[in-house]
């Protein structure tokens, strides 16, 4: 079952309930801000202080960073691109069976996007809600010239306490430490006792979040990079839409095409970034 809902300020989202799971997806940014398997805790973290307003990013859930990840070459352009604050069109909802709901969204170039990024494109986002959360982000180049993208599905995962969390599947992988801008190699599982902001490369395995009472599995396709992030105490206290102690209850593992994993898309060609979470 799906329901189209609207807040008093006009902010629209789709609520999904089937036999396997429930979810909420905003049209603003095609942003998944809730996913919960039946009988389990929510998979995604959402800030209590987050905005639900048009053209503003939601803090938590899964923002879509596109067509660039991080800061653009032009410093005046928005952090993480414009997709996460753009209004997507809901193109289809398909109840495949009692356990599975598929939703399709799209974003096309417009006068507003071309002021920021002067290319013709079609961005399609397909979300499947079942006992797994599956996302496909498909970029099509509708221009006469090639373009370069970096991107990420910026997933915030709900955890019991960040001090009880470890990340497996990235051992021996090279990474850029974005705090020191040094290139390093991971030599163990990842744990947290300070701010972490790293872009891992050569990622070809399943990533596992081991929490105190559960495992979370992340499987990626069309990607060989992943971002691991937790702002810790000082940065968290300075961030908008987030309580001072919010860092304790989430970790971000972002399915990405970032830095050396950028994609060049030629005219009429496509690229698909896929992530499956459970």
265: CATH: 2.70.98.10
Q: Please give the pLDDT value at position 240.
A: 83
Give a yes or no: residue 177 inside a domain. Answer: no
Give a yes or no: residue 26 inside a domain. Answer: yes
In the residue annotation, 89 being an active-site residue is answered as no
Give a yes or no: residue 44 inside a domain. Answer: yes
End-to-end CA distance of the chain: 21
Active-site annotation holder among 12, 102, 254, 271: 254
Beta-carbon count within 10 A of 112 CB: 10
pLDDT surpasses 90 at 75:
no
Share of the chain above pLDDT 90, in %: 91
In the residue annotation, 194 being an active-site residue is answered as no
C-alpha 269: how far from its chain's center? Answer: 23
Give a yes or no: residue 107 inside a domain. Answer: yes
Q: What is the model's pTM?
A: 0.95
Share of the chain above pLDDT 70, in %: 98
Mean pLDDT of 177-200: 96
Domain count, the chain: 1
Mean pLDDT of 143-152: 98
Give the residue among 141, 50, 125 at the shortest CA–CA distance from 91: 125
Mean pLDDT of 232-261: 93
Give a yes or no: residue 188 inside a domain. Answer: no
Mean pLDDT of 55-68: 95
Give a yes or no: residue 196 inside a domain. Answer: no
Token representation of residue 2: 């799906």
Give a yes or no: residue 82 inside a domain. Answer: yes
Q: Please give the pLDDT value at position 74.
A: 66
Give the residue among 24, 1, 29, 28 at the shortest CA–CA distance from 14: 24
Active-site annotation holder among 36, 154, 182, 271: 154
- Cα(123)–Cα(168) distance, rounded to whole angstroms? 31
Give the residue among 228, 69, 221 at the shortest CA–CA distance from 150: 69
- Cα(100)–Cα(264) distance, rounded to whole angstroms? 33
Give a yes or no: residue 260 inside a domain. Answer: yes
Domain that holds residue 13: 2-161+218-277
- Cα(218)–Cα(277) distance, rounded to whole angstroms? 5
pLDDT surpasses 90 at 130:
yes
């Amino acid at each position: 079952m799906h329901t189209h809902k609207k807040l008093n300020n006009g902010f629209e989202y789709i609520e999904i309930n089937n036999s396997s799971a429930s979810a909420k997806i905003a049209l603003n940014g095609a942003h998944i801000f809730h996913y919960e398997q039946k009988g389990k805790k929510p998979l995604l973290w959402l800030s209590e202080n987050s905005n639900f307003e048009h053209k503003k990013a939601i803090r938590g859930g899964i923002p879509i960073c596109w067509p660039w990840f991080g800061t653009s070459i032009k410093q005046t352009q928005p952090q993480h691109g414009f997709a996460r604050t753009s209004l997507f069109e809901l193109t289809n909802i398909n109840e495949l069976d009692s356990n599975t709901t598929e939703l399709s969204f799209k974003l096309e170039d417009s006068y507003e996007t071309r002021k920021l990024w002067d290319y013709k494109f079609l961005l399609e986002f397909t979300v499947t809600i079942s006992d797994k959360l599956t996302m496909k982000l498909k970029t099509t180049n509708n221009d006469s010239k090639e373009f370069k993208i970096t991107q990420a599905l910026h997933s915030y995962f709900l955890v019991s306490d960040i001090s009880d969390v470890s990340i497996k599947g990235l051992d021996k992988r090279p990474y850029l430490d974005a705090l020191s801008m040094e290139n390093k190699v991971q030599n163990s599982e990842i744990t947290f006792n300070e701010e972490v902001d790293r872009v891992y490369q050569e990622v070809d395995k399943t990533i596992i979040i081991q929490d105190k009472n559960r495992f979370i599995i992340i499987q990626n396709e069309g990607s060989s990079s992943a971002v691991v992030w937790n702002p810790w105490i000082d940065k968290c206290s300075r961030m908008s839409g987030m309580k001072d102690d919010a860092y304790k209850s989430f970790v971000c593992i972002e399915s990405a095409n970032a830095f050396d994993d950028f994609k060049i898309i030629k005219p009429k060609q496509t690229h698909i970034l896929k992530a499956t979470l459970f």
